[in-house]
Chains A and B, each alone.
Chain A
Amino acid sequence: MNIVRHGRWRTESARHGLAQRLTERLERALAIVAVAAAILGGPAATAQMSAPEQDVKAAFLYKFLGFVEWPEGALGFPGDPLVVGVLGSPIMMRALENAVSQRTAQGRNVAVKAVRVGEVPQPLHVLFVGEHESPGAQAAAGIVAGRPVLVVHDAGVSTPGMAAIQLLLVEDRIRFDIDPTQAELHRLKISSRLMQLARRVAPTTGP
């Protein structure tokens, strides 16, 4: 670096000077590495996109639909839609409607409906619970107990025993945890491929 000298200079300790020279060299090296990595193609890395939380969660939910097996007959006749119920979050409901519009899952159209505790639509194949561990969420999970419904819980803290799949915000990314026991209790089978991509898979408890 060229620095024009005039005026009085602060005296610097020798150690300060050494740290300074090392840092300068390090910065220059890093700058070159950064440019080289970019041009030559660094290690395989995902795109640096950012999007609103609800859209990312809705996209995840839509994707999950392709990795779950419902029991024979649970989805109704071949032309019937796959019904996703949303408890508690109008923002998520709108995001889900955007995500599934004109798309299919399991070879069927996807319909999104609002769910209130006490007003659970029939048939229902997926229940998205948009609240964190509130009494409402517990009640909702109770309502669909034993039924072939995939419960996906938008959780703040990972809570066992709530749902087959939990969505979590970790720093600024969305992650998901899978609980195969919960899925079994609802007679669903979750593909091992999805389990590989989960952050955590709860161990299966005994029969």
Chain B
Amino acid sequence: MAQHRVIAACLLCASSLTGVAKPPPSPQDLVELSLEELAGVRVTSVSKRSEPLGEAPASIFVIGAEDIRRSGATTLPEVLRLAPNLQVAQVSASAFAVAARGFNTPSSNKLLVLIDGRSVYTPLFGGVFWDAQDVSLQDVERIEVISGPAGTLWGTNAVNGVINIITRPATQTLDGDFSASVGNRHADAALRAGHRLANDGAVRFYAKHADHRASRTEVGVRKEDAWRRSQAGFRADWEQAEGMLTLQGNLYEGAIGQPEPGALSLDGVLFDLDTIDVSGANVLARWQRSLSGGGSVSAQFYIDHTERTVPPTFGQRLDIADAQFEHALGPMGRHTLTWGLQHRHARDRTSHGTPYFAFLPERVTQRWTSLFGQDEVELAGGLKVTLGVRVEHNDYTGAEVLPSLRVGWTPGARNGLVWAAASRAVRAPSRFDRDLFVPAAPPFLLAGGPNVRSEVAKVFELGYRADAGHDWSYSVTVYHADYDHLRTQELDASGTFLYLSNLLEGRSSGVEMWGTYRIGPSLQIKAGFTAMHDRFRLKPGSTDPGAVNTLGNDPSHAWQLRGVWDPTPAVQWDATLRRVGELPRPNVPSYVALDLRAAWRLDRQWTLSLTGKNLLDPHGEFTDALTRTEVRRSVYLGIQGHF
């Protein structure tokens, strides 16, 4: 295959060069750099758990705190639109389909999402209920969007990407912050207060509330999908010279209207529908410490309780306890080793309110245990090879092995980074794959998936990344993925019922690129482009010709262009133009959208902003013409202040 040959050629060239091995930069090395070189160093967050793979070469787009503020976005999926390597499609007023590298559906299941180390995907279907996830946006330090397999470090479910949302330590948010926005589609407000604690610690508390109006379909029918959500929480950090202790907690509740007309989907949209109630509470503790010799150790524990009631059909109460430990050994010669273990325990109690479907057994206790190891080797010629493997055990399929090989090459000191990777990632079965029965009592029409196994992806990637201080930067990645054992619905030999199985295979390849360019001191242009094509094939014996349609609905290409302009120190202008290609099944025409935002700094403390989203023609973004939400112009005034 073309990509394999190119990767092999790269490695061959690299190994023929001779040169001195470059060890990772120590603090003394950093001081040796010139100011220009220092400006190019990528910073790893002190606030997230140490994870070397985050530094290893991969297709990573970082959404910074300033980008979030300037986009005017008020919900997480809207913030994620800033990442060119993600597909974000609005399905209703509250529901979004978010994916990387294809397979996008409202219940897309190949993306892992973490908020401060807490994984927010639900083991119910392996995806994210975006209407229940929120963070205090003003406290986000950055969001790392990794497209591509990251199973070795993050486990099963990180097949096509990882979204890592990191908030600032409390020691950096000691002031108070208030922000509110009100417009034709929504109103929201958020407040945060910080306070010092003994022993070099600090704590912050936040509370926020948002209210969104219902949307309409393209023929003007009002969908009863208005929603509101409230959330409050705290974060406390104690910063010692050798390490940090962090404690976090969040509490939320929301009422989400179920859009009608609707179709069966795991976002809880079904038949004749009442308001969805969601609520949850979580606490997390994390301890990090650097060791003499350059190593570090970290431990994390969290408990996450979520409740979701989808009347009249379905309810769920889920409790998850998760403990992780990681040890990074300091460099030993050319090798830097890291290893870790994780154990997760989940108690899932579902209930069904109609005879139409149920998860059986209703109550289930599940466990996952994993162990991972990684070695980063410095070779001659500016070459660095990272070898990692993770073994994860789950109750459905036993042990899964997730290996990965990454090679990074910095030829000379000033020529950017060429990287290549080969990985095997796996999506282990969720309850939706194994335990879904239609109707709730026998005789069943759909009798679960007793033999559903993990979906497997083998991915090959090649990328190049370069930048010059803050004048320009760009990144290009090409990838090819072979998927096997994708989920299908099969007819039993008796012809009387269906069951879930894995008789679909496929391949996809694509390119992701983005760049920034500075024109003068106050204007910056950012652009991103992705293209992808995929094809799928049923395996012999399958009776599910519709399988491909349920897998995902993806455009063949998408691009976005952003202008960031600061005409004066007190005025900011932001414009984003984006185009998403046509979706095939069901067909959604391609669309172009324009977002604008203007902000004025009133004084040292307060900033006023005016944001307009989707200012061009109304358009649909997902599902069939009859039921999809028409995304219309939204204009809102915002105020933000520090005190």
Contacts and interface: CB of A to CB of B under 8 A. Distances in A.
B418 A35 contact: yes
A32 B41 CA distance: 27
A120 interface: no
A49 B42 contact: yes
B38 A59 contact: yes
Interface string B1-39: 111001001100100000000001101101101011111
Nearest to B555: A19
Interface string B95-129: 00000000000000000000000000000000000
Contacts of A130: 171
A136 B172 CA distance: 12
Contacts of B465: 48
B31 A62 contact: yes
A145 interface: no
A199 B470 contact: yes
Contact of A157 (B37, B174, B470, B642): B642
Contacts of B242: 94
Chain A interface mostly helix, strand, loop or mixed?
Answer: mixed
B403 to A, nearest CB: 23
A72 interface: no
A132 B43 contact: no
Nearest to A177: B569
Nearest to A95: B27
Contacts of A20: 533, 556
B102 to A, nearest CB: 13
B642 A46 contact: no
Contacts of A98: 27-28
A185 interface: no
A85 B131 CA distance: 46
Contacts of A99: 27-28, 30-31
Interface stretch (B58-66, B254-262, B272-280, B316-324): B58-66
B535 A45 contact: no
Contact of A34 (B464, B548, B557, B581): B464
Interface string B144-181: 00000000000000000000000010011111000000
A69 to B, nearest CB: 17
B556 A94 contact: no
Contact of A19 (B42, B533, B604, B642): B533
A89 to B, nearest CB: 7
Given A27-B478, A46-B469, A89-B239, A132 B173 contact: yes
Contacts of A199: 470
Given A62-B31, A63-B38, A170-B64, A35 B10 contact: yes
Interface string A129-171: 0111111100000000000000000101101110000000111
Contacts of A7: 537-540
Contacts of B6: 31-32, 35
A115 B99 CA distance: 48
B416 A171 contact: no
A59 B31 contact: yes
A52 interface: yes
A206 B604 CA distance: 18
A82 to B, nearest CB: 15
A91 B244 contact: yes
A24 interface: yes
A27 to B, nearest CB: 4
Interface in A66-105: 88-91, 93-95, 98-99, 101, 103
A52 B535 contact: no
Contacts of B416: 37-38, 42, 45, 48
Contacts of A56: 30, 38, 41, 43
A90 B240 contact: yes
B168 A59 contact: no
Contacts of B42: 48-51, 172-173
Contact of B468 (A6, A16, A45, A174): A45
A23 B537 contact: no
A180 B239 CA distance: 32
A197 B531 contact: no
A133 B642 CA distance: 9
A98 B45 CA distance: 18
Given A131-B171, A169-B43, A47 B410 contact: yes
A53 interface: yes
B521 A200 contact: yes
Contacts of B519: none
A180 B25 CA distance: 32
Contact of A31 (B27, B196, B415, B462): B462
A87 B41 CA distance: 25
B39 A160 contact: no
Contact of B548 (A10, A91, A156): A10
A160 B569 contact: yes
Contacts of A35: 6, 9-10, 13, 418
B283 interface: no
Contacts of A157: 642
B267 interface: no
B44 A30 contact: no
Given A23-B509, A34-B463, A38-B418, A173 B41 contact: yes
Interface of B: 1-3, 6, 9-10, 13, 24-25, 27-28, 30-31, 33, 35-46, 55, 62-67, 141-142, 168, 171-175, 194, 196, 200, 239-242, 244, 408-418, 462-470, 476, 478, 509-511, 513, 521, 531-533, 535-540, 548, 556-557, 569, 581-582, 584, 604, 642
18 contacts: A8-B537, A10-B548, A13-B584, A24-B533, A31-B462, A38-B409, A44-B414, A48-B42, A51-B43, A52-B46, A53-B46, A59-B38, A132-B174, A132-B175, A170-B66, A171-B64, A171-B142, A202-B569
The 7 nearest A-B residue pairs measured at CB: A46-B40, A134-B174, A171-B64, A48-B417, A45-B466, A59-B30, A19-B556
